[in-house]
Amino acid sequence: MSIASTSVIQIIPRTRRGVELLLLVIAIGVSVAAYVNIGITVENEIPASTGYYAAGISLLALIAHMALRFRAPYADPVILPCAVLLNGLGVAMIHRVDLGLTAIGRTKGVPFAPQQITWTAVGVVLFLAVIIVVRDHRRLQAFTYSLGLAGIVLLILPLVPGLGANVNGAPIWIRVAGMSFQPGEFAKVCLVIFFAGYLVVKRDVLTLAGRRFLGLDLPRARDLGPILVAWLVSLGVLVFESDLGSSLLFFGLFLFLLYVSTERAGWLIIGGLLFVGGAYFAYLSFGHVHRRVTDWLDPWAIDGGQVKLGLMGQAWGGILGRGLGQGHPEATLYANSDMIISSMAEELGLTGLIAIILIYTLIIERGLRTALGCRDIFGKLVATGLAMSFALQVFVIVGGVTGLIPLTGLATPFMALGGTSLVANWAIIALLLRISDQARRPQTPAAPVSDETIAMAVQKQ
């Protein structure tokens, strides 16, 4: 290299994989400590399964880490450790609830924790697949419409007779070969990619100024098409699958991406009004929505109600919590799935719950930061969509469990018991990391620029 080239200031992009490894060690340490703590408190001994648990979670985290080292070295270093920590704490709490359920003689399906570890493995395999197969996220744009179709099909699968299964009152499951899946979880990923691909193409049309009304640039009536379709589809999900949470999630995601791609707040206002209208209509028309709302307004009225039991668990936890293994999370219905946040709040207290919310916040903000740094519009939209899907999901489920909003059946990302959701979330994390690798990767070096060219450029000015 000549001396001249050293005069060019170079920012050396850093991969930060070492930081990621350190954070992973901490995440694994916290998870294993929680697991051991539960064993000591509940059974007075370090559980025999500690080795299995510790080895499993370490191995899976290490595999994911190595995949990033070799295939996406510039990927964000914070996201993976956050996911591992949430997943690890989730398994520990599921184990805790297993012990609690056994203690009160409800052994159906127990233990659930090994299942969750198995699903974590499946999730990490999918994570690897995404990191290895999807070399460049921009390739996904080619599958815009196929993925859109796949998303819709996945959404209506539970309605196919013989395939659909009604679990806990919501027909959002399918049962194949004795196993249950919640196709909506994958529909979410497909639809985010579809929305992004669609909006990349249509954003110019949608940005065209329509009428100005009350200081707002409203879109033209015919451009309202996509938002109305999204609204109707989400209402359909709500009506036919009684799935309030997913309905809000899909519509919200579409709205957010529409807003980001057009930068026009008018869409948010129209969408918000449509949402309020749809929600009110649903409240008036559907018994299950009405029940959710009344249960939210007065959780104490229903004897043995899910929300009521959860609120009691959280109150019992107080500020510092009962301590792992010292509460009664099993007294709440679905303590290891829908209500796992309440179980956490009971044993880890407000302090622990806020820490968990902050970990989610980190993932969300890291995801949005990826979107900011991403150089292509498609990637920006996909990253925004995936990050905001976390935000919405966490808000809806945690808000429901803590009594901020009516409770709807969404899975708590990475924590709740349930294979589909866990695996889908690992796929989402993989996609986010893939995009962040592109965003943080150094630009392909431009052709060497000679001093003469620079001189000419200066003279032209």
Partner 1 sequence: MNSAIRRLAVAAIILMLALMANSTYLQAFRANEINGRNDNNRVRDSQFSVNRGPILIGSTPVAQSKPSNDRFKYQRTYPSGPVYAPVTGFYSYRFGRGGIELTMNSELNGSDPSMAFRRIIDVISNRPQQGGSVTLTLNAAAQQAAYKGLGSKTGAVVAIEPKTGKILAMATTPSYDPNRLASHDSAKVDAAWKSLTEDKDRPLSNRAAQELYPPGSTFKLITAAAALSSGKYTPETKVNSPAELPLPQTTVPLVNEDGKNCGGSNNATLTIALRYSCNTAYGSVGLALGPDALRDQAAKFGFGARPLAELPSVATSQFPGDPNEPQTAQSAIGQFDVRATPLQMAMVAAGIANKGEVMKPYLVQNVKTPDLKTVSETKPESLHQAVTPQVASELTAMMVDVVNNGTGKPGQISGVQVAGKTGTAQTAKDRPPFAWFTAFAPADDPKIAVAVLIEKADIARDDIAGGRLAAPIAKSVMEAVLSQ
- Check binding of 208 to partner 1 (CB under 8 A): no
From 185-193, 273-281, 361-369, 407-415, give the range in contact with partner 1 by CB under 8 A: 361-369
The C-alpha atoms of residue 5 and residue 227 are separated, in whole angstroms, by 52
**Smaller CB separation from partner 1, 183 or 400:** 400
The C-alpha atoms of residue 9 and residue 412 are separated, in whole angstroms, by 46
Q: Cβ distance 124 to 60 under 8 Å? A: yes
**Smaller CB separation from partner 1, 242 or 412:** 412
- Check binding of 280 to partner 1 (CB under 8 A): no
- Spatial CA neighbour of 31 closest among 79, 94, 75, 78: 94
Tell me the H-state helices in 374-418. Answer: 377-401
Contacts of 256 (CB under 8 A, 6+ apart): 384, 385, 388
- Check binding of 364 to partner 1 (CB under 8 A): yes
**Smaller CB separation from partner 1, 3 or 319:** 319
- Spatial CA neighbour of 50 closest among 35, 66, 65: 35
Closest separation in Å from C-beta 395 to partner 1: 4
- Check binding of 184 to partner 1 (CB under 8 A): no
Cα 11 versus chain centre, distance? 33
Closest separation in Å from C-beta 15 to partner 1: 24
Please count the other Cβ atoms lying within 10 Å of the Cβ belonging to residue 205: 13
Closest separation in Å from C-beta 358 to partner 1: 8
Q: Cβ distance 233 to 250 under 8 Å? A: yes
From 173-181, 220-228, 236-244, 342-350, give the range in contact with partner 1 by CB under 8 A: 342-350
- Check binding of 317 to partner 1 (CB under 8 A): yes
Helices (H) and strands (E) in the chain — how many of each?
Answer: 16, 5
- Check binding of 318 to partner 1 (CB under 8 A): yes
- Check binding of 384 to partner 1 (CB under 8 A): yes
**Smaller CB separation from partner 1, 303 or 451:** 303
Residue from 26, 205, 372, 456 in contact with partner 1 (CB under 8 A): 372
- Spatial CA neighbour of 436 closest among 65, 70, 79, 22: 79
From 81-89, 112-120, 224-232, 383-391, give the range in contact with partner 1 by CB under 8 A: 383-391
- Check binding of 391 to partner 1 (CB under 8 A): yes
- Check binding of 200 to partner 1 (CB under 8 A): no
- Check binding of 412 to partner 1 (CB under 8 A): no
Of all helices (H) and strands (E), which one includes residue 422? helix 419-440
- Check binding of 251 to partner 1 (CB under 8 A): no
From 107-115, 124-132, 390-398, 444-452, give the range in contact with partner 1 by CB under 8 A: 390-398
Cα 85 versus chain centre, distance? 14
Burial of 360 (0-12, 13-18, 19+ CB in 10 A): buried
Residue from 55, 176, 297, 354 in contact with partner 1 (CB under 8 A): 354
- Residue at 326: amino acid letter: Q
- Check binding of 333 to partner 1 (CB under 8 A): no
- Check binding of 261 to partner 1 (CB under 8 A): yes
Closest separation in Å from C-beta 328 to partner 1: 5
Residue from 42, 68, 398, 424 in contact with partner 1 (CB under 8 A): 398
Residue from 74, 112, 316, 378 in contact with partner 1 (CB under 8 A): 316
Share of the chain residues as helix, strand and coil, in percent rounded to the nearest 5: 70, 5, 25
- Check binding of 209 to partner 1 (CB under 8 A): no
**Smaller CB separation from partner 1, 60 or 435:** 435
391 three-state secondary structure: helix
- Check binding of 256 to partner 1 (CB under 8 A): yes
- Check binding of 26 to partner 1 (CB under 8 A): no
Residues touching partner 1, count (CB under 8 A) = 48
- Check binding of 403 to partner 1 (CB under 8 A): yes
Which residues between 97 and 126 bind partner 1 (CB under 8 A)?
Answer: none
Residue 371 token pair: 């979107």
- Spatial CA neighbour of 361 closest among 405, 395, 324: 395
345 three-state secondary structure: helix
- Spatial CA neighbour of 324 closest among 99, 24, 20, 78: 99
Closest separation in Å from C-beta 392 to partner 1: 8
Residue from 233, 309, 416, 431 in contact with partner 1 (CB under 8 A): 309
The C-alpha atoms of residue 168 and residue 248 are separated, in whole angstroms, by 19
Total count of residues recorded for the chain: 461
The C-alpha atoms of residue 266 and residue 270 are separated, in whole angstroms, by 6
Which chain residues interact with partner 1 by CB under 8 A?
256, 259-261, 263, 300, 303, 309, 311-319, 327-328, 331, 345, 349-350, 353-354, 357-358, 360-361, 364-365, 368-369, 371-372, 377, 380, 384, 387-388, 391, 394-395, 398-399, 402-404
